[in-house]
């Protein structure tokens, strides 16, 4: 473990007000000032919710903390250690023919209102995707029918067997109760708000909520206790709306907070104590890499439409400076392909040797000159190939202090080689709108996440057609029909198909050659846990790989609920 040194200035005030270690001064069974939630039976978390609980709609892209995972559940979960799907609400699933998939559901699963969970719930959930605007509706572009064969069997028929995409769907979309949701109108399903006391299959149900927190209470009849031998340990989960870093540190050190899932700079300075705070790794990079932060160029604007110009940009940027100076070693540099370490076995060394890039400003200058970009007016910045001066703006959300610092570093690196770039910090909602509409020059985005397959990364880069509003992918608006055809082919291949790694290799070559997005660093699953009340947090240390200790919505489909079955009361 890292020895305690001085705390960064950001935390100094908070640290002076607290004891040196992570402690719980209250009696383990009392309420710690709140008798409604006995401290020894309650897990307190923060870092997921950025506003008051309000979205109880599992169909929407957002949702209150734990809605999908603690409450609603998935047919399968993806095991990131074994890198395979594990049955959850489903008991099994198999391709019974080239275009047919049969799903067997577990028996004995009940909704929290006592009604049985059946095949009708699964079919109904899929059918909701036929409503225009439902986020997962795209599955019906290649799914022809979902039919309940009997109470516990569903048969799916496809027009195209996209095996990688199908696997992804099975662990990223939760199942809802037909007997509840059939009463909602399409407008209610799309826009809510829905019932704040949802009927669920998961280990917890909503206890209460305020503007500052949501509380979940353990269900006594969760199906997985009998079926899988799993039992969640905390009786209550209380997730707090995200606080300031100083407040979070105070609460962690005092043992009033168990898990913080937000970015906290200088984490290595407070990893010791009695008992200590812990992170996923006990040495740099500390945090599990779960998505790739990439510089997104708007390829509809000159000179960003030129792959040669983008190649020069890649050589100009120092990921190491961001990793060290901005994150203090909490994250790691991205691979030139952008593929996460979970897919390391697919890295193509020949492709990297031919098209990969490193931080080498002198090469960036030479590449710009070779491509025809010159500084004719002597202002220190190159002009377009037509001789026109240009200035680019790099936008990131204001208040995202790490991304603000990263944007400053990137803009400085690019300016040093003669590319005029200025960072701009604007409201997060404005960034979202600009990214979707294409009204930007450059931005940072990290929506290429850990999934079951590299297919998702290339889908993120190359998805076509480019629409007026790009919601989830291809924010650079780069149009490459060959890359998209290969991505679609990859979606159809089984993981053990010998052609599978060949397609991945070719897509890597295209991604590095054309750089529709420039990989910079691996963003971490921010996680700082206190061992005063709960201990046994999963970690990624040698010989001990576990699930990610995070309440982020994306983590529940990766088996996040197992964390709650593995932790235990501290002695």
- CA-closest candidate to residue 455, choices 203, 259, 198, 163: 163
Q: Determine whether 413 is exposed, middle or buried from the number of CB atoms within 10 Å of its CB (0-12, 13-18, 19+).
A: buried
- Sign of the Cα pseudo-torsion (398, 400, 405, 406, in order): negative
DSSP symbols for 154-188: EEEEESS--HHHHHHHHHHSEE--HHHHTTS-HHH
- CA-closest candidate to residue 317, choices 421, 391, 392, 428: 421
First CA to last CA across the chain, in angstroms?
A: 21
Window from 9-23, 185-199, 255-269 with minimum mean pLDDT: 9-23
Evaluate whether 259 touches 48 at the Cβ level (below 8 Å): no
Evaluate whether 232 touches 70 at the Cβ level (below 8 Å): no
Looking at residue 324, the DSSP 8-state letter turns out to be I
Query: What CA–CA distance (Å, rounded) separates 68 from 72?
Result: 5
pLDDT in tens, 291-328: 999 999 999 999 999 999 999 999 999 999 999 999 99
With cut-offs at 50, 70 and 90, classify the pLDDT of residue 265: confident
455: left (phi over 0), alpha (psi -120 to 50) or beta: alpha
Q: Among all chains, which residue has been given the structure tokens 């909490």?
A: 330
Give the model's pLDDT for residue 272: 66
Give the model's pLDDT for residue 8: 36
Give the model's pLDDT for residue 276: 82
Give the helix/strand (H/E) hosting 88. none
- Show the domains of the chain with their CATH numbers: 9-60+202-286+525-569 (3.40.190.10), 73-181 (3.90.76.10), 289-524 (3.10.105.10)
In this predicted structure, the answer to whether residue 273 has a pLDDT above a threshold of 80 is no
- Could you tell me what percent of the chain has a pLDDT over 90? 83
Query: What CA–CA distance (Å, rounded) separates 489 from 63?
Result: 33
Give the model's pLDDT for residue 54: 86
Query: What CA–CA distance (Å, rounded) separates 455 from 167?
Result: 11
- CA-closest candidate to residue 320, choices 310, 331, 311: 331
In this predicted structure, the answer to whether residue 11 has a pLDDT above a threshold of 50 is no
In this predicted structure, the answer to whether residue 406 has a pLDDT above a threshold of 90 is yes
Cis peptide before 266 (omega within 30 of 0): no
Looking at residue 203, the DSSP 8-state letter turns out to be S
Window from 26-35, 386-395, 457-466 with minimum mean pLDDT: 26-35
Give the number of other CB atoms < 10 A from CB of residue 455: 27
The Cα-based distances of 422 to 166, 208, 390, 393, 494 in angstroms read 41, 46, 11, 5, 45
Give the model's pLDDT for residue 18: 42
Give the model's pLDDT for residue 384: 97
Helices 455-462, 481-492: axis angle to 10 degrees equals 150
What phi, psi does 268 have (nearest 5°)?
A: -70, -15
Give the model's pLDDT for residue 246: 85
Give the model's pLDDT for residue 50: 85
Give the model's pLDDT for residue 61: 64
With cut-offs at 50, 70 and 90, classify the pLDDT of residue 542: confident
pLDDT in tens, 21-64: 576 655 544 434 467 999 999 999 999 998 899 889 998 766 89
pLDDT in tens, 183-230: 999 999 988 778 899 999 999 999 999 999 999 999 999 999 999 999
Window from 5-14, 273-282, 439-448, 560-569 with minimum mean pLDDT: 5-14
Give the model's pLDDT for residue 123: 99
Evaluate whether 404 touches 396 at the Cβ level (below 8 Å): yes
In this predicted structure, the answer to whether residue 551 has a pLDDT above a threshold of 80 is yes
Give the model's pLDDT for residue 505: 98
Query: What CA–CA distance (Å, rounded) separates 475 from 359?
Result: 24
Looking at residue 116, the DSSP 8-state letter turns out to be B
508 Cβ contact list (under 8 Å, min separation 6):
337, 339, 346, 347, 348, 351, 352
DSSP symbols for 259-301: EE-S--TTGGGG--SSSPEE-SSSSTT-S-EEEEEEEEE-TTS
With cut-offs at 50, 70 and 90, classify the pLDDT of residue 2: very low
Give the model's pLDDT for residue 531: 94
SS3 at position 9: helix
Q: 10-49 burial, b for 16+ CB within 10 Å, e for fewer?
A: bbeebbeebeebbbbebebeeebeeeebbbbbbbbbbbbb
The DSSP bridge partners found for residue 260 are: 46, 528
CA 119 from centre of chain: 29
- CA-closest candidate to residue 517, choices 262, 291, 289: 291
pLDDT in tens, 53-111: 988 999 876 689 999 999 999 999 999 988 999 999 999 999 999 999 999 999 999 99
Question: Mean pLDDT across the chain, nearest whole number?
Answer: 92
Evaluate whether 317 touches 295 at the Cβ level (below 8 Å): yes
- Could you tell me what percent of the chain has a pLDDT over 70? 93
pLDDT in tens, 468-492: 999 899 999 999 999 999 999 999 9
DSSP symbols for 484-522: HHHHHHHHHS-TT-THHHHHHHHHHHHHHHH-SSEEEEE
Query: What CA–CA distance (Å, rounded) separates 121 from 111?
Result: 11
């Amino acid at each position: 473990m890292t020895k305690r040194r001085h705390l960064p200035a950001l935390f100094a005030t908070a640290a002076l007000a607290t004891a040196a270690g992570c402690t719980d001064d209250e009696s383990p069974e009392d309420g710690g000032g709140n008798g409604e939630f006995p401290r020894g039976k309650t897990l307190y978390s923060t870092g997921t919710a950025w506003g008051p609980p309000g979205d109880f709609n599992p169909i929407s892209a957002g949702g209150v903390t734990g809605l999908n995972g603690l409450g609603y559940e998935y047919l399968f979960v993806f095991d990131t250690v074994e890198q395979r799907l594990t049955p959850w609400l489903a008991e099994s699933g198999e391709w019974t023919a080239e275009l047919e998939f049969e799903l067997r559901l577990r028996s004995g699963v009940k909704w929290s209102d006592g009604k049985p969970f059946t095949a009708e719930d699964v079919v109904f959930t899929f059918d909701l995707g036929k409503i225009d605007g439902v986020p997962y509706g795209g599955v019906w572009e290649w799914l022809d029918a979902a039919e309940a064969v009997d109470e516990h069997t569903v048969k799916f028929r496809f027009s195209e067997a996209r095996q990688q995409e199908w696997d992804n769907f099975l662990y990223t979309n939760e199942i809802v109760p037909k007997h509840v949701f059939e009463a909602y109108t399409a407008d209610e399903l799309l826009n809510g708000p829905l019932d704040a006391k949802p009927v669920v299959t998961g280990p917890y149900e909503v206890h209460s909520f305020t503007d500052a927190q949501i509380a979940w209470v353990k269900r006594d009849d969760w199906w997985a206790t009998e079926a899988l031998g799993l039992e969640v340990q905390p009786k209550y989960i209380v997730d707090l709306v995200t606080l300031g870093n100083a407040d979070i540190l105070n609460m962690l050190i005092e043992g009033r907070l168990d898990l913080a899932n937000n970015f906290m700079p200088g984490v290595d300075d407070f990893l010791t104590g009695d008992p200590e705070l812990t992170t996923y790794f006990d040495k740099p990079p500390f945090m599990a890499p779960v998505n790739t932060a990439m510089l997104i160029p708007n390829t509809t604007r000159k000179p960003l439409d030129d792959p040669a110009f983008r190649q020069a940009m890649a050589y100009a940027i120092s990921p190491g400076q961001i990793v060290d100076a901005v994150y203090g070693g909490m994250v790691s540099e991205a691979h030139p392909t952008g593929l996460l370490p979970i897919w390391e076995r697919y890295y193509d060394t020949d492709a990297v040797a031919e098209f990969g890039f490193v931080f080498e400003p002198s090469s960036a200058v030479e590449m710009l000159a070779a491509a025809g970009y010159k500084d004719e007016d002597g202002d220190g910045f190159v002009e377009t190939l037509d001789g026109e001066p240009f200035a680019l703006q790099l936008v990131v959300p204001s208040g995202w202090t790490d991304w603000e610092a990263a944007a400053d570093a990137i803009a400085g690196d690019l300016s040093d080689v003669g590319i005029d770039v200025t960072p701009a910090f604007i409201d997060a909602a404005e960034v979202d709108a600009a990214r979707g509409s294409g009204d930007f020059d450059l931005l940072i985005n990290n929506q290429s996440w850990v999934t079951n397959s590299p297919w998702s990364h290339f889908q993120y880069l190359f998805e076509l057609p480019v629409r007026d509003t790009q919601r989830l992918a291809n924010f650079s608006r780069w149009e490459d029909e060959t890359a998209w055809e290969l991505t679609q082919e990859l979606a159809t291949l089984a993981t053990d198909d010998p052609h599978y790694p060949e397609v991945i290799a070719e897509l890597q070559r295209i991604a590095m050659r054309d750089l529709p997005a420039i990989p910079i660093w691996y963003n971490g699953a921010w996680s700082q846990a206190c061992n005063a009340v709960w201990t046994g947090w999963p970690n990624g240390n040698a010989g001990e790989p576990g699930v990610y200790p995070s309440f982020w919505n994306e983590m529940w489909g990766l088996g996040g609920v197992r964390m709650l079955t593995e932790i235990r009361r501290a002695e």
